[in-house]
Amino acid sequence: SELYHAQIHLYKHVYNFVSSMALKSAMELGIADAIHNHGKPMTLPELSSSLKLHPSKVNILYRFLRLLTHNGFFAKTTVKSNEGEEETAYVLTPSSKLLVSGKSTCLSSLVKGALHPSSLDMWGVSKKWFHEDKEQTLFECATGENYWDFLNKDSDSLSMFQDAMAADSRLFKLAIQENKHVFEGLESLVDVAGGTGGVAKLIHEAFPHIKCTVFDQPQVVGNLTGNENLNFVGGDMFKSVPSADAVLLKWVLHDWNDELSLKILKNSKEAISHKGKDGKVIIIDISIDENSDDRGLTELQLEYDVVMLTMFLGKERTKKEWEKLIYDAGFSRYKITPICGFKSLIEVYP
């Protein structure tokens, strides 16, 4: 009946957080690493002892694994025990392979950061946030400070955040390999808000002749040293951007509203102005396709939009919104290419 399905729909959304927290627990316990290192399907007792859990926790581990297996993070098979009996054993799936540490595809630090209390606790004041007249993020409403100020004053949170960004950047390696043409012909590139240089290092590896500059706030790049073709420059992207043949803006503009994004794009346009028509700005961000029939992808993109809104007063943009922003910044042409996962690569030309 309609009432039955409406209840399932509502209750499922109430308890989605349990699936998020079960995933977080799997990451914290290192379940994916244990199964990966076991080298073959792993039974529950083998997994429990590998995780050094107290025997009383074996059934708790089973209940978490049952939910995570149902959600596609593990799969069940059977193995023969020494006595020749069939035993249930667990194997990794493509999703839990993203939790195997040490691999370039490991996203554990993103799971840790995105599900850290500093990202969740703010939701306790959402009603107050909706009813106040101040324009501030939910994070500021809850903590009294801007998220970036919070990161810059708490080195553990800053390194947790940077580890998360670096994890996502490592996956960007696949995008670079699939889109070499975007970087060919460039002699220099400045990675704006490039943090600790994760992306610049990937570009430098793939294109050693490109002179890469990582540009971020002084307290982020201050004590970082590069090499002959990879250097770090401190500054304020809202004032000016160091000049180069190309400016890279990966996961930056979605942190900022249109007015501030326009400022960053105009400064980026200035930075490539010496290259005339050959200069370009490369934006890596979500481009929401409202006509997409991939409801799961759109749900993730709209969830990211609310995360950016509540933490940065930022936004994820639709294709039309990107077009308006790009033209308002004075650029003449752009090209959007979907890249690995849920983001797009937008080449913008003066």
Ligand X SMILES: OCc1ccc2c(c1)OC[C@]1(O)c3cc4c(cc3O[C@H]21)OCO4
Residues that bind ligand X (CB under 6 A): 110, 113-114, 116, 118-119, 160-161, 164, 251, 254-255, 307, 311
* Residue 322 near residue 334 (C-beta atoms within 8 A): yes
Between 164 and 202, name the residue whose CB sits nearer to ligand X.
164
List the Cα angle 75/81/83 in 5-degree steps: 160
Residue 288's identity, in one-letter code, is I
Catalytically annotated residue among 116, 209, 254, 274:
254
Q: What are phi and psi of 224, to 5 degrees?
A: -95, 135
Between 68 and 151, name the residue whose CB sits nearer to ligand X.
151
Give the nearest distance from C-beta 199 to ligand X in angstroms.
Answer: 12
For 53, what's the count of Cα atoms within 13 Å in the CB-facing half-sphere? 20
* Residue 271 near residue 215 (C-beta atoms within 8 A): no
Give the nearest distance from C-beta 171 to ligand X in angstroms.
Answer: 12
Secondary structure letter of residue 276 according to DSSP: G
Residue 79 CA to residue 262 CA, distance in Å, equals 59
Give the nearest distance from C-beta 120 to ligand X in angstroms.
Answer: 10
Between 109 and 267, name the residue whose CB sits nearer to ligand X.
109
Give the nearest distance from C-beta 151 to ligand X in angstroms.
Answer: 8
Between 113 and 197, name the residue whose CB sits nearer to ligand X.
113
Catalytic site includes residue 131: no
Report CA torsion sign: 17, 18, 19, 22: positive
Between 79 and 114, name the residue whose CB sits nearer to ligand X.
114
Q: Which residue is nearest to ligand X (CB)?
A: 113
In sequence order, what are the residues at sequence separation of 6 or more whose Cβ sits closer than 8 angstroms to the Cβ of residue 214? 190, 191, 194, 195, 196, 197, 200, 221, 224, 226, 230, 231, 232, 233
* Residue 216 near residue 193 (C-beta atoms within 8 A): yes
The set of catalytic residues is 254
